[in-house]
Amino acid sequence: MSTITHKSIMKDRLPVQNAPSLMCANLLRLEDDLRALEAGGAAWWHIDIMDGHFVPNLTLGQDFCRAVARACPSVPLDIHLMVQPVEQHLDRFLEFSGSRISFHPEASRDPGAVLTRIRQAGCHPGLAISPSVSVESLEPLLADSAYACVMTVQPGFAGQKLIPACLPKIGQVRRFFGENGLPNDIEVDGNVSWENIPAMVGEGASVLVTGTSSLFSKTVPLEEGCRRLRSLLDRLA
């Protein structure tokens, strides 16, 4: 097995994409936010699905996904399931062909079967990696996934502080994908702030779930935030 170095990660990494977290948008002016983010280069709509059981919060659902898909069909959905058991809720989201669907394997009775079901439905299956879950324990499942979502905060709420110990997990996943010839995306979700983005990209992140600590901070308009993000990513390239 070849050795994947930090230098090779930086050289061969995928272009970094923006996946705005829609739970952080202004839901009373959602279509306006979608248009601004679409014009600003959003690659995915990140939609958090929380059941109040796996995490102590309730957020968005199937009807919200349908509304977003109808309003802006040119940007695919990036659905993050924070539900337990995954199998009880999965079918509601398989109608969104071409979308990405990530889930927490510890919330599933058979994670391998869930990956297969998502793929068979024409979607891209991903693993969400909680701070308490090691990358090593997930390697067999990562080999069968289309991407990974590395959580750098505890799942459940926006506005949390970064858990610094989670940053090296991004590099661990990038090395695993590289050593196995998998050109898969690594998404990072949690306190994706202007200050933290350089370290996340440096570890190998290729999709940033932007939320209240960057695009939705309300300190600047969304259009200006998108320009700032693109300028930052251009400097890091």
Mean pLDDT in residue range 20-28: 96
Q: What is this structure's pTM?
A: 0.92
Q: Catalogue the active-site residues.
A: 48, 189
Q: CB under 8 Å to 7, separation ≥6 — which residues?
A: none
227, 206 Cβ separation under 8 angstroms: no
What is the CA angle 59-66-212, rounded to 5?
A: 40
Return d(Cα 61, Cα 43) in angstroms, integer. 20
Structure-token pair, residue 89? 């809720």
Q: Output the pLDDT for position 13.
A: 63
Rounded CA gap, 202 and 206, in Å?
Answer: 10
Residue 4 is predicted with a pLDDT of: 41
Longest dimension (CA), the chain: 52
Residue 220: pLDDT band (50, 70, 90) is confident
Neighbours of 204 (CB within 10 A): 24
Q: Domain 6-236 belongs to what topology?
A: TIM Barrel (3.20.20)
* Distances 227 to 18, 40, 164, 195 between C-alpha atoms, Å: 12, 7, 27, 16
3-state SS class at 212? coil
Interval 154-162 mean pLDDT: 83
